[in-house]
Amino acid sequence: MLTSLFPNVDWEKMWEATYETLYMTTISTVITFILGLVIGILLFLSSPNQLWANKLVNFLTGSIVNIFRSIPFIVLIILLIPFTKFLLGTIRGADAALPALIIGAAPFYARMVLISLREIDKGVIEAARSMGAKTSTIIWKVLIPESLPALISGLTVTAVALVGYTAMAGIIGAGGLGNLAFLDGFQRNRQDVTLMATILILIVVFIIQWIGDFITAKTDKR
């Protein structure tokens, strides 16, 4: 039945593209999480009245985040072509999409980390300081655990955005469902291929959202 509904779909190609999408999304989400968390914590701690209050560091970090967050992703990919070529020696394939995906998403996630950390009750940080906690202890045992549900729901939003970014990265030949929909579906005028690719992207997005919501609820003890 599937074959009659989607006569032009090459299933092997479709699964391969799905795998590439999942690969790009997973790797870039993991690295975005780490990088965004580091930048977000730096932004938080360097802001006024915080533990590392430092106007210069705060201004510089904030500016970099804002600049990269403002560049449209499709433009960012093109701007990063020389960088990617230098880093990986090629601009084709799933790996070649990763630098652009991470550099596009990490500043976005860093902002969400900052918002999550600002939601933490100041008193809890003060209590930890009054117990003689080091800043590293405060980061690992107060900041991250106390904002975990927000950090995870922010990551879910970022991961869903990254699925969209992988589709755009497909245009420059990164592979994945976006690439397939564009080359096989749009350019060859095979609507069924575009539709199937869309359905698979939706399924990926729903699964990410479901996992994210589940973990968020699980970690929230408030």
Question: Which of 76, 142, 159, 174 touches another protein by CB under 8 A?
Answer: 142
Q: Residue 191 gets which letter from DSSP?
A: H
User: Which 4-43 positions form the footprint of another protein (CB under 8 A)?
Assistant: none
Interface residue with another protein, options 5, 30, 34, 126 (CB under 8 A)? 126
Count CB atoms within 10 A of the CB of residue 128: 18
Q: Which is nearer to another protein, 28 or 216 (CB)?
A: 216
Contact 167, 176 (CB under 8 A): yes
Six token digits for residue 99? 């630098």
CA distances from 209 to 50, 114, 154, 158, 203 (A): 33, 21, 11, 10, 10
Among 34, 53, 124, 211, binds another protein (CB under 8 A): 124
Select the residue interacting with another protein from 1, 2, 56, 131 (CB under 8 A). Answer: 131
CA angle 142, 146, 150 (to 5 degrees): 140
Residue in 48, 123, 136, 187 binding another protein, rule: CB under 8 A: 123
E strands within 40-198? none
User: Is 57 one of the binding residues for another protein (CB under 8 A)?
Assistant: no
134 binds another protein (CB under 8 A): yes
Q: Please state the separation of Cα 168 from the chain's center in Å.
A: 14
Per-residue tokens: 218: 């699980």
Q: Which stretch binds another protein (CB under 8 A): 4-12, 87-95, 134-142, 153-161?
A: 134-142
Binding flag, residue 49, another protein (CB under 8 A): no
Enumerate binding residues for another protein (CB under 8 A): 121, 123-124, 126-134, 137, 141-142, 145-146, 148, 219, 221-222
